[in-house]
């Protein structure tokens, strides 16, 4: 199959739906809350009772604009809403209020990182719409059960151009989107719970062709990994069809995570005809310069910009920058340390090492980390000042701080009696004593066996009960050995 793949170009476009973290729904003031008891966040507008009219949630618009600004889109200044008409039991009105003619964000791109480097994936649009309710099909149950809590929850739909060429790029785009919505605080990005969902349009064409092949829309992939698996499977399936002289049928297919294959969905609906038309109930919406500016002013630093700052300004390796900006809470914690020490690499090491492994072990976010960033900064300063060693700090002091997060690092160091001795007056007698005790070793050293200094250092450390500042002790020892 691999050699056959060489003959074809894979063409992918993604449609990513993100549920917005507003308090209320998009067209009414019912609660937008995940995990409520079924059918408890409902009002007459959600249920489409006769005579009810929608009213647009300002916050939902602002969240959509934020994503548009982060994705370099043009923001539509004049917006209307459209009705997408279809019957389904989880859609109370019989139409979805969405944006067809005037998506709030047009064009733009999202930069993704793949093996070959960075590339910009072109967007077609980002528009605002409402989510539908949830249908529950239980085994052995004659009815379908419907929970309308999700009906009317605000969504943005991010639509890429058919600009993606590999499943790796598709995965990179999704993880970038997830990172962005989390940094922007507009969606929790949880794919398992469905707050971030992705459909993939996949087609293949012969290399060098200019005409896209017939596309298939794949649904039901609840993780980035599964989106990639579905695309890989679809790539081979479509090539096989074409190689056998058959053609690809334009259809909606569902992904089965158990066998990694896609299956055509049997729909009773003949060709979908959504009969879009402008919704006359919602007033047109204009985005003024002032409003846009207001939103621009609340934009946080985004992960890519932060990573760039870490490599350029902080001189950190790219790997560090990537790990530190992977989630907003960790980046913020790291930033807070950097506000208090200029040793950025040490700050990075602390966060990527002891801090992150503690968070991972207990499944916490950095906001929940007991020890404040100021204390970590203090430890870095203590280490750099020779007061404590990194080993002692990362093992004993750190452990103690986790138990007593209200103490300062210095207090804990004192309490544990681990403050290093960098005082020449107290170190010299120990050094002299060691040198006196091992005259033969001194001779060996003088005859060029420089490695033996490790043995002297070991003795000094032992006799100082581990409190000698190794750096100072080493300097004094080397100097002394030259003299004798």
Partner 1 sequence: MKIDRTLLDKIAHLSRLEFDEKDAEKMMKDMTAIVDWVEKLKEVNTDGVEPLTTMSHEINMLREDEVKPHLDHEAALLNAPKKDDVYFRVPKVLE
The residues that touch partner 1, with contacts defined as CB under 8 A, are 22-24, 28-32, 37-44, 46-47, 49, 55-61, 80, 85, 87-89, 135-137, 141-148, 254, 265-268, 270, 273, 275, 278-280, 282-286
Q: In sequence order, what are the residues at sequence separation of 6 or more whose Cβ sits closer than 8 angstroms to the Cβ of residue 9? A: 165, 204, 205, 206, 207, 209
Cβ atoms within 10 Å, residue 236: 15
Phi, psi of 127 (to 5 degrees): -125, 165
Distance from the Cα of residue 442 to its chain's centroid: 57
| Beta-carbon-side half-sphere exposure of residue 438 (alpha carbons within 13 Å) | 19
Q: In sequence order, what are the residues at sequence separation of 6 or more whose Cβ sits closer than 8 angstroms to the Cβ of residue 333? A: 351, 355, 366, 367, 369, 373
At closest approach, how far in Å is the CB of 170 from partner 1? 24
At closest approach, how far in Å is the CB of 301 from partner 1? 24
Cβ atoms within 10 Å, residue 350: 26
- Name 117's bridge partners: 114
Q: Which residue lies nearer to partner 1 by CB, 94 or 353?
A: 94
Q: Which residue lies nearer to partner 1 by CB, 135 or 404?
A: 135
Q: Which residue lies nearer to partner 1 by CB, 62 or 378?
A: 62
Q: Which residue lies nearer to partner 1 by CB, 112 or 155?
A: 155
Q: How far apart are CA 156 and CA 90, in angstroms?
A: 19
Q: Which residue lies nearer to partner 1 by CB, 28 or 203?
A: 28
| Contact predicate 196/179, CB 8 Å | no
Q: Which residue lies nearer to partner 1 by CB, 20 or 427?
A: 20
Token pair listed for 97: 């209020």
Q: Which residue lies nearer to partner 1 by CB, 116 or 273?
A: 273
Q: How far apart are CA 216 and CA 203, in angstroms?
A: 6
Q: How far apart are CA 433 and CA 91, in angstroms?
A: 86
């Amino acid at each position: 199959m691999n050699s056959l793949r060489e003959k074809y170009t894979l063409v992918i476009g993604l449609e990513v739906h993100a549920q917005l973290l507003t308090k209320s729904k998009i067209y009414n003031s019912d609660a937008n809350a995940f995990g409520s008891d079924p059918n408890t966040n409902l009002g007459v507008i959600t249920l489409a009772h006769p005579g009810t009219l929608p009213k647009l949630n300002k916050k939902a618009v602002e969240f959509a604009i934020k994503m548009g600004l982060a994705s370099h889109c043009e923001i539509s200044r004049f917006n209307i809403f459209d009705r997408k008409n279809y019957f389904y039991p989880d859609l109370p009105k019989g139409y979805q209020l969405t944006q067809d003619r005037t998506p709030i964000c047009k064009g733009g791109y999202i930069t993704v990182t793949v093996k070959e480097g960075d590339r910009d994936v072109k967007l077609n649009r980002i528009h605002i719409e409402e989510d539908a309710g949830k249908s529950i099909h239980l085994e052995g149950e004659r009815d379908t059960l419907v929970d309308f809590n999700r009906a009317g929850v605000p969504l943005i739909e991010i639509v890429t151009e058919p600009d993606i060429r590999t499943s790796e790029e598709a995965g990179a785009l999704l993880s970038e989107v997830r990172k962005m919505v989390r940094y922007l605080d507009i969606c929790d990005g949880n794919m398992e719970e469905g707050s971030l969902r992705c459909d993939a349009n996949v087609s293949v064409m012969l290399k060098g062709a200019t005409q896209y092949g017939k596309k298939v829309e794949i649904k039901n992939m609840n993780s980035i990994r599964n989106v990639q698996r579905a695309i890989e499977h679809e790539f081979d399936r479509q090539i096989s069809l074409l190689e056998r002289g058959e053609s690809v049928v334009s259809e909606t297919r569902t992904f089965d995570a158990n066998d990694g294959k896609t299956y055509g969905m049997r729909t009773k609906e003949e060709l979908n005809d959504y009969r879009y038309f402008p919704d006359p109930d919602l007033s047109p919406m204009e985005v003024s310069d002032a409003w846009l500016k207001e939103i621009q002013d609340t934009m946080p630093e985004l992960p890519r910009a932060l990573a760039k700052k870490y490599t350029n300004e902080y001189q950190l390796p790219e790997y560090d920058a990537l790990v530190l900006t992977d989630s907003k809470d960790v980046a913020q914690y790291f930033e807070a340390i950097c506000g208090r020490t200029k040793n950025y690499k040490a700050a990075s090491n602390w966060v990527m090492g002891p801090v992150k492994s503690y968070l991972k072990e207990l499944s916490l976010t950095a906001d929940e980390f007991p020890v404040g960033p100021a204390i970590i900064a203090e430890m870095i300063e203590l280490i750099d000042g020779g007061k404590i060693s990194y080993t002692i700090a990362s093992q004993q002091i750190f452990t103690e701080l986790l138990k007593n997060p209200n103490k300062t690092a210095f207090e804990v160091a004192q309490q544990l009696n681990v403050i290093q001795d960098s005082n020449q007056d107290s170190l010299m007698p120990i050094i002299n004593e060691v040198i006196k005790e091992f005259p033969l070793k001194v001779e060996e050293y003088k005859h060029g066996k420089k490695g033996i200094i490790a043995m002297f250092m070991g003795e000094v450390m032992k006799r100082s009960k581990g409190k000698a500042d190794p750096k100072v002790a080493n300097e004094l020892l080397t100097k002394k050995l030259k003299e004798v």
